[in-house]
């Protein structure tokens, strides 16, 4: 297990998604000592769960690979995975961080050969695929996991499966006696990059996400489109596995709604426009895409992306917030009900599959922060003097796309470097 | 200015939004509507509205005074509150609809024979007489609102229901003669009259 050597000139980065990785690497490459703490057993966060990026429709695995290589090369960077910051006390230039490290029961001997997974029988919902598929109780979180190590699900510890996994390992990489431990170390400044989570779609009661199998969320659809995902990249209906050629996207599912999330989540319009490509790429002329929207917010320089999707013959834009979804019991089709704003026509449209362009909310709940920070109404961290030496980055600061999250992270890294440089200056 | 221009200005009064904000209950919310349409889609009686709420809001902003105030749309509202609950901007849509209906009534623009408006008027007059609603008389007034013949037909059709209500003491035939009321009816009537005067004085003139 990695030992942490840290001083009050060390920068702590909380969260190892795209923002945390960026902040940690930028700071480490600028010469600062950095400890990166990630809750999951691997780096990359939600970006690693994307199939393609907008606007270039390239694969996040590419950027992830570059970042992981930068991380491996850099001696200034210590990475703690399966670890959570549970406490942070002190002041800028002089904090003490408490980190809880959860056992994965696998040590650094692991070669990712996969024999343990073959031996284990128990299966659990695969978090990486948002529960759309199962994984073994011993598993590699995803094909590009960093660190490239298998993980034992704590639920198999104490069962026969745990012993089977241990017996199958030729490298003595499985240590069933591993225990949770808590460590303390000094840090000078903190970059808080805990990211986002999808809003709970079931809370949007009229859309029946929890009642209708063929109503899914955009993050699930993203996994479905991925050839490494639960359906091998096939866009199909969860209810019967039939090809989903007629797909509807519902925008602002949770966002811009005082009953749910007050803010605009910014990414969802572009995400649906991107996902429209997935459907059209899969089914060509047979594809039928309908996008139900209040207004399309193709943020940044992406208006041309919107214009190109709009020009497609098989894509319809319907200016209306869908009022409710009902079910055609005969064929399992969700039926979207509402009134459009361009002519006030009442509609009841059937689709094979409905994707809710789900909103973004901060991963860390308002009252879950282990440290005093200034939060806005939506739970994002506001830039404020009160935050001391804690600088928010990426989606902990606001609803951002990858591009802007990376910019935000670089900015946060710079601020953190200034704090530790002041400490260095004072101490000579 | 040409006659045509004057007529068009009269038709589309640009200050109608201001008028609604000043004189209609909760009218100041109208400008907050972002035209998502969830209210219209959520309304259980939606398809019976000539103009669903979202369209009414747009018409107000477009200055279609006459069309809005003479419309029977807002009279379709049954106060189920589905729209208020679902509105992403928390517009008090139900209240605005009632506000518009009240305002159109004050200006005498209600479409003739609109059943909800007729019922509201019968209910009001009934209640003002004694300070309590006389349900027997309310029911009878409703039966006979379209004439004596139709009234008899309505009464016969609902005979069984009426008898059951009397048996269950939900309605008393004695109410036909006078009926129960509050102690100081005159006081109530004075109070309401004063309130109406105050309301009248507060109303801004736009026409």
Looking at residue A1, its pLDDT comes to 47
Cβ of B40 and A324 within 8 Å? no
In a domain, A396, yes or no: yes
Q: Which residue of B has its CA nearest to A257?
A: B88
pLDDT tens-digit profile of B89-133? 999 999 999 999 999 999 999 999 999 999 999 999 999 999 999
In a domain, A175, yes or no: no
A334 shares a domain with A204: yes
Chain B residues at the A interface, defined by Cβ less than 8 Å, are 34-38, 40-42, 46-47, 51-52, 54-55, 85-86, 88-90
Q: What is the mean pLDDT of residues B74-81?
A: 95
Task: Give the pLDDT of chain A (428 residues) as one tens digit per residue.
Answer: 457 888 999 999 999 999 999 999 999 999 999 999 999 999 999 999 999 999 999 999 999 999 999 999 999 999 999 999 999 999 999 999 999 999 999 999 999 999 999 999 999 999 999 999 999 999 999 999 999 999 999 999 999 999 999 999 999 999 999 999 999 999 999 999 999 999 999 999 999 999 999 999 999 999 999 999 999 999 999 999 999 999 999 999 999 999 999 999 999 999 999 999 999 999 999 999 999 999 999 987 899 999 999 999 999 999 999 999 999 999 999 999 999 999 999 999 999 999 999 999 999 999 999 888 999 999 999 999 999 999 999 999 999 999 999 999 999 999 999 999 998 888 76
DSSP secondary structure letters along A227-288: TTSTTTT--B-TTT--B--EEEEEEEESTT-TTS--S--SSHHHHHHHHHHHHHHHHGGG-E
Out of A206, A258, A319, closest to residue B88 by CB: A258
A367 shares a domain with A336: no
A186 shares a domain with A48: yes
Rounded Cα distance between B50 and B64, Å, is 14
CATH 1.10.1060.10 domain residues, chain B: 3-110
Of the residues A204, A339, A341, the best mutation for testing chain B's interface (the one with the most B CB atoms within 10 Å of its CB) is A339
Out of A256, A258, A320, closest to residue B37 by CB: A320
- Comparing C-alpha atoms, which of A157, A150, A156 is closest to residue A173? A150
Identify all chain A residues contacting B54, using CB atoms and an 8 Å cutoff.
339, 341, 344
A249 shares a domain with A271: yes
A284 shares a domain with A233: yes
Decide: A35 and A10 in contact? Cβ < 8 Å.
yes
A152 shares a domain with A51: no
pLDDT tens-digit profile of A102-126? 999 999 999 999 999 999 999 999 9
How many angstroms separate the CA of residue B34 from the nearest CA in chain A?
8
Of the residues B34, B35, B40, B41, the best mutation for testing chain A's interface (the one with the most A CB atoms within 10 Å of its CB) is B41
A328 shares a domain with A247: yes
In a domain, A294, yes or no: yes
Distances in Å between the alpha carbon of A77 and those of A396, B18, B44? 22, 62, 60
Decide: A267 and A401 in contact? Cβ < 8 Å.
yes
Structure tokens at B163: 């008898």
A26 shares a domain with A148: no
List phi, psi (to 5°) of A322: -60, 135
Q: ipTM score here? A: 0.87
How many angstroms separate the CA of residue A251 from the nearest CA in chain B?
11
Cβ of A256 and B35 within 8 Å? no
Identify all chain A residues contacting B34, using CB atoms and an 8 Å cutoff.
294
Strand partners, A122: none
Cβ of B46 and A322 within 8 Å? no
List phi, psi (to 5°) of B52: -65, 160
How many angstroms separate the CA of residue A243 from the nearest CA in chain B?
29
Strand partners, A339: A346
* pLDDT, chain B, mean: 91
Q: Which residue of A has its CA nearest to B35?
A: A341
Out of A294, A337, A346, closest to residue B34 by CB: A294
In a domain, A174, yes or no: no
A346 shares a domain with A297: yes
Cβ of B36 and A321 within 8 Å? yes
Cβ of A339 and B37 within 8 Å? yes
Of the residues B37, B59, B92, the best mutation for testing chain A's interface (the one with the most A CB atoms within 10 Å of its CB) is B37
Decide: A278 and A234 in contact? Cβ < 8 Å.
no
A81 shares a domain with A31: yes
Rounded to the nearest 5 degrees, what angle is found at the Cα of A393, between the Cα atoms of A39 and A183?
35
Number of domains in chain A: 3
In a domain, A97, yes or no: yes
Looking at residue B11, its pLDDT comes to 61
pLDDT tens-digit profile of A251-307? 999 999 999 999 999 999 999 999 999 999 999 999 999 999 999 999 878 999 999
Looking at residue B171, its pLDDT comes to 85
Cβ of B46 and A338 within 8 Å? no
In a domain, A50, yes or no: yes
Decide: A396 and A19 in contact? Cβ < 8 Å.
yes
A258 shares a domain with A317: yes
In a domain, A64, yes or no: yes
In a domain, A190, yes or no: yes
pLDDT at B78 over 90: yes
How many angstroms separate the CA of residue B62 from the nearest CA in chain A?
14
pLDDT band at B176 (very low <50, low <70, confident <90, very high): confident
CATH superfamily assigned to domain B3-110 = Alpha-helical ferredoxin (1.10.1060.10)
How many angstroms separate the CA of residue B86 from the nearest CA in chain A?
7
User: A69: domain CATH number?
Assistant: 3.50.50.60
pLDDT band at B3 (very low <50, low <70, confident <90, very high): confident
Question: Which residue range forms the structural domain that includes residue A348?
Answer: 199-360
Q: Which residue of A has its CA nearest to B57?
A: A341
């Amino acid at each position: 297990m990695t030992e942490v050597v840290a001083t009050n000139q060390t920068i702590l980065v909380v969260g190892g998604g795209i923002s945390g990785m960026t902040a940690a690497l930028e700071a480490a490459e600028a010469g600062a000592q950095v400890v990166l703490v990630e809750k999951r057993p691997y780096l990359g966060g939600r970006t690693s769960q994307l199939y393609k990026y907008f606007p270039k429709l390239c694969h996040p695995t590419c950027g992830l690979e570059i970042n992981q290589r930068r991380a491996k090369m850099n001696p200034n960077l210590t990475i703690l995975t399966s670890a959570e910051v549970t406490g942070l006390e002190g002041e800028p230039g002089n904090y003490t961080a408490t980190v809880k490290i959860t056992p994965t029961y696998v040590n650094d001997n692991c070669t990712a050969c996969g024999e343990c997974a073959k031996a284990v029988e128990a299966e659990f919902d695969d978090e990486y695929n948002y529960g759309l598929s199962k994984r073994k109780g011993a598993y590699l979180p995803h094909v590009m996991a960093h660190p490239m190590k298998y993980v034992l699900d704590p639920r198999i510890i104490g069962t026969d499966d745990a012993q089977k996994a241990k017996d199958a390992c030729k490298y003595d990489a499985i240590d069933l006696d591993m225990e949770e431990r808590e460590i303390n170390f000094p840090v000078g400044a903190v970059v808080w990059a805990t990211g986002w989570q999808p809003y709970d779609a079931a809370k949007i009661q009229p859309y029946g996400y929890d009642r209708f199998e063929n109503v899914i969320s955009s993050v699930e659809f993203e996994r479905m489109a991925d050839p490494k995902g639960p359906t091998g990249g096939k866009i199909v209906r969860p209810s019967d596995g039939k090809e989903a050629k007629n797909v509807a996207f519902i925008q602002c599912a949770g966002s811009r709604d005082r009953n749910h999330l007050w803010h605009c989540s910014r990414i969802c319009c572009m995400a649906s426009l991107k996902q429209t490509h997935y459907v059209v790429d899969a089914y060509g002329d047979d594809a039928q895409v309908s996008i139900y929207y209040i207004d399309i917010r193709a943020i940044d320089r992406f208006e041309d992306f919107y214009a190109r999707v709009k020009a497609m013959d098989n894509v319809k834009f319907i200016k209306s917030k869908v009022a409710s979804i009902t079910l055609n019991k005969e064929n399992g089709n969700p039926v979207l009900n509402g009134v459009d704003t361009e002519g006030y026509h009442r509609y009841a449209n059937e689709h094979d599959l409905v994707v809710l362009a789900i909103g973004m909310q901060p991963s860390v709940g308002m009252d879950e922060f282990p440290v005093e920070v200034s939060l806005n109404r939506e739970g994002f961290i506001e830039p404020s003097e009160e935050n001391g030496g804690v600088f928010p980055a990426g989606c902990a600061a606001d609803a951002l796309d990858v591009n802007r999250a990376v910019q935000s992270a670089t900015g946060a890294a710079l601020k953190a470097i200034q704090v530790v440089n002041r400490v260095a200056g004072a101490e000579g | 200015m040409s006659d045509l221009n004057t007529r068009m200005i009269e038709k589309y009064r640009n200050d109608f939004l201001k008028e609604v904000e000043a004189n209609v209950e909760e009218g100041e919310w109208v400008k907050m509507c972002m035209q998502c349409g969830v209210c219209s889609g959520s309304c259980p009686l939606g398809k019976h509205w000539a103009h669903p709420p979202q369209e009414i809001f747009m018409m107000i902003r477009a200055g279609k005074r006459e069309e809005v105030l003479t419309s029977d749309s807002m009279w379709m509202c049954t106060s189920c509150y589905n729209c208020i609950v679902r509105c992403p901007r928390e517009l008090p849509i139900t209240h605005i609809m009632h506000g518009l209906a009240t305002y159109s009534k004050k200006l005498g623009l209600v479409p003739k024979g609109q059943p909800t408006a007729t019922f509201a008027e019968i209910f009001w007059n009934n209640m003002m007489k004694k300070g309590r609603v006389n349900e027997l008389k309310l029911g009878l007034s409703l039966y006979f609102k379209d004439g004596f013949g139709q009234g008899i037909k309505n009464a016969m059709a609902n005979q069984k229901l009426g008898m059951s209500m009397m048996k269950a003491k939900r309605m008393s035939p004695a109410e036909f003669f006078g009926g129960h009321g509050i102690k100081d009816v005159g006081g109530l009537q004075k109070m309401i009259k004063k309130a109406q005067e105050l309301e009248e004085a507060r109303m801004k003139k736009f026409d």
